[in-house]
Amino acid sequence: MGPLPRTLELFYDVLSPYSWLAFEVLCRYKNIWNVSLQLRPTLIAGIMKDSGNRPPALLPRKALYVKNDVRLLGQHLQVPIHLPKDFFFVVFEKGSLTAMRFLTVVKLEHPELLEKVSRELWMRIWSRDEDITEPQSILAAAEKAGMSTGQAQELLERVSTPQVKNQLKETTEAACKYGTSIDVQPSTAGQ
């Protein structure tokens, strides 16, 4: 009998391409690395506000870097990632609040589906340039991930409840207490 798995928490928002890349690597290797992966849906906007950091895409040099880095990392890690055509509208206007609340409900009620639903939301925004904010989009992602229509609809109806709002806020605050901030550091992909 080997050592017990180490617990690794991934605080993530489907609005972050870097979170998707980390998610795929961790899901891919969690058994090999003997890791108990705890997925923690979090709101990136709350982390930005708490840290006082500006999104990298708002800084011209970092925006160019992110564009190239995400492309190279996606190729290297074999994740089908592409920036949305209207990146600024998708990321800064539409955001991910409803999607992240939905994932919070999934974690509370059907944690066994959280990985698949999260992946499908990432695929919609970062691979197929599809919406993740409208109810029908979230339902389509949930159904594609294996959730029944009724099950998905029931969870979607709960995204605005105090329980779900508070849970997402608490998880985001927990990420901030760990010292989370959003910044882009150079990677070695493609070098």
Q: Which residues are catalytic?
A: 16
Q: Which two tokens stand for residue 175?
A: 């990420």
Beta bridge partners of 41: 12
Query: Is 83 in a helix, a strand, or coil?
Result: coil
Dist. CA 111–CA 38, nearest whole Å:
10
Q: Are 175 and 57 a contacting pair, CB within 8 Å?
A: no
Yes or no: say if 174 and 40 are a contact pair by the CB < 8 Å rule: yes
Residue 132 contacts residue 3 (beta carbons within 8 Å) = no
Please list, residue by residue across 61-71, b when 16 or more beta carbons sit within 10 angstroms of its beta carbon and e when fewer do. ebeebbeebbb
Cross-strand pairs, 40:
11
1 class by beta-carbon count within 10 Å (0-12 exposed, 13-18 middle, 19+ buried)? exposed
